Structure 1
């Protein structure tokens, strides 16, 4: 009986000694849009570590201007890398879809279409379903499951699975 009481007393005192979680810091973490940074913020709050100003979403003017310029450069390079994640590690994983005009179509083995877009990207049809697109049509390529991509014409629900060639 004494051993049980001692274990209970030690366990109870350790619970009383624990610091309470800072709810304001948790609320500040909810304002962070980047998933990884938000998770790091939550981890720091739970571990009772201080969160930095950049993590809490507060404005830092000089750093924000530099980061905005860098992010604009990254967006341009990310859009250029859309669909090439398997080749280029710096490619965008944040962009969910791109829109471009169709410049040229050609056929490659077993009636698979090859689409050349106005932004210089070339996409090859992977699936075997019939997909019609004319030059000048606006195409939307969006991210699908397991690293694949779906292409559709603007205003249409018909899609085809595609893979980026270049």
Structure 2
């Protein structure tokens, strides 16, 4: 009885508060429906909204009161986060705060420009817009137009090398 009263109160909330209802609350409200067919229909509506995140339809739930059957107010659909495209993940490769899903091991690009600072360390700009600064004192004969590979090293480090050669330098992403 107490659960049914709570369900009725949840369903009568104002629309502004209902917009903050999450998936867990939607599932709990479906769980409280006593009629098996209506409960299954409620769960099916939520699952269909998860399968089609493009649709902006609201999920309608129904609850059974001991006296009257009440149709609930519509609640907004919680959309799962969109999968990030591989290009977006590659654009963030080498930045300090990688996302957990951004676990690519290497990128390949053509060198756009190569500059050298006063300490004879290279600043390499790639065609994809990324800039990498040399950290070690190793020599690498790299020129504009060369195709290079940046690989993930140990403990968050990165190694840059020219395709087809074994020589690599330790680098850090600047931009």
The interval holding the TM-score normalised by the smaller chain is 0.5 to 0.7
Question: Which residue is 2:144 aligned to?
Answer: 135
| Greater helix content | 1
What is the CA–CA distance in structure 1 between the aligned matches of 2:53 and 2:142, rounded to whole Å?
Answer: 42
Question: Which residue is 1:80 aligned to?
Answer: 91
3-state DSSP class of the match of 1:132?
Answer: coil
TM-score normalised over the length of structure 1: 0.54
Question: Which residue is 2:32 aligned to?
Answer: none
Describe how 1:138-157 pairs up with structure 2 within 5 A: 138-157=147-166
Question: Which residue is 1:102 aligned to?
Answer: 111
Question: Which residue is 1:33 aligned to?
Answer: none
Question: Which residue is 1:39 aligned to?
Answer: none
What is the CA–CA distance in structure 1 between the aligned matches of 2:99 and 2:125, rounded to whole Å?
Answer: 23
What is the CA–CA distance in structure 1 between the aligned matches of 2:92 and 2:100, rounded to whole Å?
Answer: 4
**Distance of aligned partners of 1:90 and 1:107 in 2 relative to their CA distance in 1, 3 Å threshold:** same
How far did 1:91 drift? Answer: 7.5
**Distance of aligned partners of 1:109 and 1:94 in 2 relative to their CA distance in 1, 3 Å threshold:** same
Describe how 1:26-41 pairs up with structure 2 within 5 A: none
Describe how 1:1-166 pairs up with structure 2 within 5 A: 63=51, 70-71=82-83, 73-84=84-95, 86=96, 88-90=97-99, 93-166=102-175
3-state DSSP class of the match of 2:86?
Answer: helix
**Distance of aligned partners of 1:108 and 1:77 in 2 relative to their CA distance in 1, 3 Å threshold:** same
Structure 2 residue runs of 5 or longer lacking an equivalent are 1-49, 55-81
What is the CA–CA distance in structure 2 between the aligned matches of 1:90 and 1:74, rounded to whole Å?
Answer: 13
Let me know the Cα RMSD of the aligned residues.
2.7
What is the CA–CA distance in structure 2 between the aligned matches of 1:64 and 1:135, rounded to whole Å?
Answer: 46
Larger Rg: 2
What is the CA–CA distance in structure 1 between the aligned matches of 2:137 and 2:100, rounded to whole Å?
Answer: 27
Aligned residues: 102
Regions of 4+ moved over 3 Å: 62-66, 88-93
